[in-house]
Amino acid sequence: MAAYIPVPRDLTRVKSKVFFNLTKRQLICFGAATLIGVPVFFLIKTTGNVSLAAMTMIIVMLPLFMLAMYEKDGQPLEVVESHFIQAKFIRPRVRPYQTNNYYDVIIRQFELEKEVDEIVVHQEKKQKN
């Protein structure tokens, strides 16, 4: 019997694994979550309620887990969030459709030249009188 190893077709999506089949980003985020979550657990556990301590630890560590694992269309969570914030809050919702029509530019230039010619003719008439 032959053993088959799956090989991805798109090699650009393959990420280098560092330790325990985790990427460097995942290791950093999980390490930070551990450094924050475990002390929180032991601080709240002193009150006597282990369930509350465990739930609080999960809630505190969840954002870092999301940073480590969530990816949409090849973009990490912070990039997706920045795009969302840009689209919803920073950029205007209504973008007026504006074109730079070549013929409109020619017409405007013609009208400006006509106006300048009228001013020049008017000045020449004043100077002759």
- Note the pLDDT tens digit of each residue in 66-96: 888 888 888 888 889 999 999 999 887 887 8
Structural domain contains residue 38: yes
Please calculate the CA angle 101-92-99 and round it to the nearest 5 degrees: 5
Structural domain contains residue 9: no
Structural domain contains residue 30: yes
2 confidence band (pLDDT: 50, 70, 90): low
Domains: count for the chain = 1
Q: Which of 119, 27, 100, 109 is nearest to 65 (CA)?
A: 27
Whether the model pTM is above 0.85: no
Average confidence (pLDDT) over 100-128: 88
- Residue 116 is part of which domain span? 14-71+102-128
Structural domain contains residue 54: yes
Structural domain contains residue 35: yes
Q: How far apart are CA 8 and CA 19, in angstroms?
A: 21
Structural domain contains residue 92: no
129 confidence band (pLDDT: 50, 70, 90): low
Give the pLDDT confidence of 12-33 residue by residue, as tens digits: 666 666 667 678 888 888 899 9
Structural domain contains residue 21: yes
Structural domain contains residue 26: yes
Q: How far apart are CA 23 and CA 69, in angstroms?
A: 10
* Confidence at residue 34, expressed as pLDDT on a 0 to 100 scale: 92
